[in-house]
Structure 1
């Protein structure tokens, strides 16, 4: 499926008049899906459907705020951060990478009932790297137990670093196991992917409901 993503997007643009400003592909976390990848995956070929408003209201507002955030789901990054992620990304703007690309991804910061993926507490993450940038590292954070993504804006102090993955060579898919510990219920998994081809940092929010099972 992943190899056909650009072909699919091009077909959607041609067939539906969707925004044509699709950047050269980079990558993202596709499992568990990030907010904008999930919206694109579920609604990309039916983004004008009125059903989205009731079935997936967070995607509905995101498409209307800036549909290019979904078409360019694999371009949510900042450059030249120098590893100073906390300094670069303010509280309340973690899911948009600090409103990167002139605020294109701002709608991803909105608090609400984003569609969440159900996962066991020991789960496999898949980082899709279509440009084969490779990685200097991946840092995976998960919200602390007690944080409520339905009513609270995400800040750095709400997160616990649960996984560090070192250098990875260029590959279309990079998979690794993450342990959510004793968490249960709804959480945000926050991934920082530091690409290795240049100082390019990706900031990625995935909504997950942990079952408690391993």
Structure 2
């Protein structure tokens, strides 16, 4: 059964427009392949942290800044390029302990640093999330999933013996074509019994060549919903708060062709004046919030669901209607699409099904078409 994204986090949208702009101007960008975007790998989140609107790299995170000082800016312009062309599925003994996050390469060596201030994604042990892995170049193959063992410390160099397997997936679907900010995605149950800081490690083993890709994502199992801290706009390295957390996944982009032309507006934080229109019914209400990053033919929305009653709500569905031909671009996160446009409906997933009195949760989605000038009327019902 497909279950959509716990922790796709998006109270605030990363500046997708800036990412696109940097792809157009980045010096020497390699046509490499991909790392994790949810939870974000070190190179990806450092790129999000460092990227300026004019395409230059200027990290605010201290670990990212030190990595750039050591290895230069190009590894972040090539955030998707942590690979070995001769790996052939090998692990222990192929890449030396302490060099695993950088795939044993000189180019990405700075991203092996054993320190506790890398950007981090907040997750919940045992939750079902939608993992996302960049498909900058698309290949058939298997994604092998690992997490650090209990007792591992972020200030200790990562060793193969620190990792334990918790799953794999072969040839998952893609959100769109290669060459931009699209990704492979699949729904994955996280390991149970985890708490505190860990690394989620992914090795992408191509089935059509010896080339493999390697990805270190710093996470903390603290009951989080996928919030990212430690990058610009996220409130430093403190615990996430709903008003300051940052999305680890930008909206979908098209290929970064030099001939691409888009009307783009972006903001590194959620707009307080975003259109909203609460709807009610069945003990719950829903509020529509158009996110600030958008470009022609695409928009992103976050919907907050609230239990207005004094008793526990056991399940919810939000419905609305489109009049302009809008559609969904991929699956929602933190919700299950149960009816298609023009009269879409999104219901809870397992982890956010039960809401206590006055409790809230949220889901979000990328959409095609022009965002409605006025937020549609939402209705929220419960069984």
TM range, smaller chain: 0.7 to 0.9
Unpaired segments ≥5 residues, structure 1? 14-19
Q: Report the CA distance between 1:120 and its aligned residue.
A: 1.7
Q: Report the CA distance between 1:84 and its aligned residue.
A: 1.9
When Rg is computed on C-alpha atoms for both structures, the one with the higher figure is: 2
Match of residue 173, structure 1, among 183, 193, 197: 183
| Residue 164 (structure 2) pairs with residue 160 (structure 1) | yes
- Aligned positions of 1:97-136 closer than 5 A: 97-99=103-105, 103-112=106-115, 113-121=117-125, 122=127, 123-134=129-140, 136=141
Provide the secondary structure at the position in 1 that maps to 2:122: strand
Provide the secondary structure at the position in 2 that maps to 1:85: coil
Once residues 69 and 80 of structure 1 are traced to their aligned partners in structure 2, the CA distance between those partners, rounded to angstroms, is: 20
- TM-score using structure 1 length: 0.83
* Larger helix fraction of residues: 1
Partner of 2:149: 144
How well do the aligned residues superpose, as a CA RMSD in angstroms?
2.5
Provide the secondary structure at the position in 2 that maps to 1:162: strand
Partner of 2:199: 188
Q: 1:117 to 1:65 in 2, by over 3 A?
A: same
Q: 1:44 to 1:12 in 2, by over 3 A?
A: farther
User: Which gives a bigger RCO, structure 1 or 2 (Cα 8 Å, sep 6+)?
Assistant: 1
Match of residue 98, structure 2, among 92, 95, 98: 92
Q: Report the CA distance between 1:64 and its aligned residue.
A: 1.3
Match of residue 28, structure 2, among 16, 21, 25: 21
Q: 1:2 to 1:76 in 2, by over 3 A?
A: farther
Q: 1:4 to 1:137 in 2, by over 3 A?
A: farther
Q: Report the CA distance between 1:57 and its aligned residue.
A: 0.5
Contact 1:182–1:212 (8 Å) recurs in 2: no
Q: Report the CA distance between 1:86 and its aligned residue.
A: 1.7
Partner of 2:337: none
Once residues 142 and 8 of structure 1 are traced to their aligned partners in structure 2, the CA distance between those partners, rounded to angstroms, is: 34
| Residue 71 (structure 2) pairs with residue 72 (structure 1) | no
Once residues 203 and 23 of structure 1 are traced to their aligned partners in structure 2, the CA distance between those partners, rounded to angstroms, is: 16
Unpaired segments ≥5 residues, structure 2? 1-13, 177-181, 225-350, 352-383
Match of residue 62, structure 2, among 45, 57, 62: 57
